[in-house]
Every structure is written in C-alpha cells, then in structure tokens.
Amino acid sequence: MANPKFEIKKRTNGEFQFNLRAGNGEIIATSEGYASKQGCKNGIESVKNNAPDAEIEDLTL
C-alpha cells in the first residue's frame, strides 16, 4: 500500500484546492477553495499540524 498524499488541483474558477488520498488511492478529505496556491499549501500544513489531536464528535446520538 502506498503512503497517503496531498494533491493540489486548480478548479475551473481559478481557485486551488487539495485532496487527501489514503494509501489505497481513495480521497478521504477535500478542502475548501483557496485564492492562491500558497493559501492551499498553508491549509495542508494546518491539517498536518492539527489533525493528530482532533477530537471525534459523534452527532448521531
């Protein structure tokens, strides 16, 4: 199985977004649109830094 990876893409409206792909190739997260590629890269860094400590909130209860 491959390592997870972030992919940066440009939308048809000119915004940048990223997808996070799992090791099996499936998209497991998609970002909002960013006006700049650097903003998109900053979003990736934010996910990398904050996700390990993210809580799970079950709203189905």
| Domains parsed from the chain with CATH numbers | 5-50 (3.30.160.160)
Q: What residue has token string 């199985």?
A: 1
pLDDT digits (tens, 9 = 90+) for 1-54: 789 999 999 999 999 999 999 999 999 999 999 999 999 999 999 999 998 888
pTM recorded for the entire structure: 0.84
What does DSSP say about strands 27-30 and 5-10: parallel, antiparallel, or unpaired? unpaired
